[in-house]
Structure 1
């Protein structure tokens, strides 16, 4: 850094890989700002919530018509869905930077 060239790409890659999964950078890489704060622990808790609700419904003592509907735990949704046969591609660093610097 002293010579004005900046950090090496390997160092930047290492620093980004060490970011927590709830960081804004990881959220933008995952699909958008709506993923901010959603780490593995939050996804697991939402899955557990839904599983418990389904278990409660399955073991209830009511008829088919009287079974309550339990809402799913709200999760972040992707803005665009990939088309059939199209693979989901990871955003480039330039795209993530553009989203980080965008005003809301």
Structure 2
């Protein structure tokens, strides 16, 4: 693997699971975790009317591909790539 790439690069995103991970570095993951922790703390310590705790959705994150989705992709041979590029 290529070394010293920034964690927000497209290469690291594709290695992590897809284009939806582009821009998701350590700092963004930490901010999303902090957002969820603050919401959890708010729900736990709030003085809610009639004891009804509001539903606060978690911060939206990219979903990693599962093992079955990765296996479903068919391998492409060099001959097939050449045929597609040459227009034959």
In the alignment, structure 1 segments of 5+ residues that lack a partner are 1-12, 89-104
Name the SS for the 2:32 alignment partner: helix
Greater relative contact order, per chain length (Cα 8 Å cut-off, separation 6+): 1
**C-alpha distance in 1, partners of 2:62/2:38?**
20
TM-score under structure 1 length normalisation: 0.60
TM-score under structure 2 length normalisation: 0.70
- Cα deviation for residue 59 of structure 1 reads 0.2
In the alignment, structure 2 segments of 5+ residues that lack a partner are 71-88
Instruction: Verify: 1:82 aligned to 2:53, yes or no.
Output: no
Aligned length, in residue pairs: 68
Which has the larger helix fraction? 2
Name the SS for the 2:67 alignment partner: coil
